[in-house]
Structure 1
Amino acid sequence: MSKGSKVTIISKLQRIARFGTVKPICLSHLSYEEFWYLFKTLTFGSADPSEHPQLVRIAEEFAKIFQVGGSLVTTNAFADVLRRNLDVQFWLCVLGKTRRVIQKNLSEHGVYPYLLFEQGHPVDITDFALHRSSAVRITNCTNSSNRLTNNDLMKKETVTLGELLVNPNNRPKGEFSLLAWESRIPPYTRFEHFVVSSVQDLPQSVNLSGRKKRRVPI
């Protein structure tokens, strides 16, 4: 690096602060008012919220749910899905699925899905996929001895979260990559999850350049 260059480190890990040469800036969770403003801006985009009063009320319910977990990735992912379809029935359908997923995980583990996922525990997302014959779980485990190469991952068909929520039949047969959200600013980080058909013998999580991948057993 050239003389005078600076590096900004952004991390959830407090121990990373030891690498800094200046006092770290610690951010707390957004208040509901701040979170609601952010979510409304992301969700409606260029649309005028005052022209969609029913959607505003539904968006407030989403904000109450997501503000507790504090995941900006989840916030952006769902805002992107909702912004593409400003339909009341669609929003209510997604809201119902989201509530059922949260309630199911709270009942089983007493912890919100986002926190479970961050801690590396399986999260039941059956209601999103609508395959009730078997549980659908997303996990961030890293214990498996099986590994996939980058080429293996690149060959997998990709489905976005929005496509899955709009029509679960968009789910490919067998293994595929689920794209939850892609950043709209450089370096355009992609939050993808590798989906397998069994909860056993999961492959090792693989990080691609500019991507974040996690395993999603179905």
Structure 2
Amino acid sequence: MKGMMLIVIEFVSDIDDNDWEKFHSFLIKIGRGSKIIIVSRIKRLARFASVKPIFLSALSHDELRYLFKIMAFGSVDPTEHPRLLQLADEFAKVLHSMQASLVETTVFADALRRSLDVQSWCGILDTGIRFLKRNLSLYGMQPRIALLEQGHPVDITDVTSHPHIIAPYTMNASIEKPQSVTATELLTDPSVRPKGDFILILWESRIPPHESFVYFVTSRAQDTHHGSTLPGRKRRGVPV
């Protein structure tokens, strides 16, 4: 392929400098004058930039609080549920302290929207708080940062009610696909957890090409995890 190209790459974890140099050199060979735009939440990747990077700030607490309420209540008037409205504020505080992504915020909101019940919301809030505290004590950093930037498996014992960790998932057509469950299903009912190792679908787009964020879940007792340093992303219908 010859000629100039514009390539947009989204990185969900840091990459090795040598790997970047190989890719960059290859690009120069096939299309001199081509441009690359890097999209990522990882500031360290700015070292590859040839121009001043543009940093987009995270949502403020008030912005996250507003967005979360819209997603959690849907078409329901929040003022009709004053106690749930208070709990939504608590959720927003926890999510903001977690530096939660929009995907993680959507997962919690979706779980809450399924049942406008105070006891259910309190249970999910407690799960989120315990999940955050456990991983902060293990790694001294937010779970998302530990997984995506540092490559640590994240402890989700508080979500599954069983000693489990999640790690990046890599597709492998030669291996039988484990059972899967969505994060929303686990949050609302941990008993749906498959026996043994399984695939956790954190989020899946409802529109084509149905991109998803998928992770591998295994027992902490095994003290091992599968996959590469990059979280697996797959499309529906692709064999794994």
Aligned to 1:107: 137
Given that 1:69 and 1:115 are in contact with CA atoms closer than 8 Å, whether structure 2 keeps it comes out as no
Aligned to 1:14: 46
TM-score by length of 1: 0.76
**Compared with structure 1, are the counterparts of its residues 65 and 148 closer, same or farther at alpha carbon in structure 2 (3 Å cutoff)?**
same
- CA deviation vs aligned residue, 1:95-134 (integer Å, no higher than 9, x gap): 1111112122223332222222222112222111112xxx
Give the Cα separation in 1 of the matches to 2:157 and 2:206.
Answer: 28
Counterpart check, 1:207 vs 2:229? no
Give structure 2 stretches of 5+ with no counterpart: 9-36
Task: State the SS of the aligned residue for 2:92.
Answer: helix
**Compared with structure 1, are the counterparts of its residues 115 and 174 closer, same or farther at alpha carbon in structure 2 (3 Å cutoff)?**
same
In structure 1, what residue type is equivalent to 2:138? E
In structure 2, what residue type is equivalent to 1:137? I
Given that 2:152 and 2:167 are in contact with CA atoms closer than 8 Å, whether structure 1 keeps it comes out as yes
- Aligned residue pair count: 198
Aligned to 2:17: none
Give the Cα separation in 2 of the matches to 1:108 and 1:24.
Answer: 32
Give structure 1 stretches of 5+ with no counterpart: 212-218
Structure 1 residue 203, shift from structure 2 partner: 2.6
1:17-96 map, 5 Å: 17-18=49-50, 25-70=54-99, 71-96=101-126
Give the Cα separation in 2 of the matches to 1:64 and 1:210.
Answer: 33
Structure 1 residue 58, shift from structure 2 partner: 0.6
| C-alpha RMSD over aligned residues | 3.0
Structure 1 residue 139, shift from structure 2 partner: 3.1
- Please tell me whether Structure 1 or Structure 2 has the larger radius of gyration of its CA atoms: 2
Give the Cα separation in 2 of the matches to 1:187 and 1:139.
Answer: 24
The percent identity for this pair of structures is 46
Counterpart check, 1:139 vs 2:155? no
Give the Cα separation in 2 of the matches to 1:49 and 1:91.
Answer: 14
TM-score by length of 2: 0.69
Structure 1 residue 62, shift from structure 2 partner: 0.9
Given that 1:45 and 1:83 are in contact with CA atoms closer than 8 Å, whether structure 2 keeps it comes out as yes
Aligned to 2:173: 150
Structure 1 residue 29, shift from structure 2 partner: 1.4
- CA deviation vs aligned residue, 1:147-167 (integer Å, no higher than 9, x gap): 7613636x3222111222222
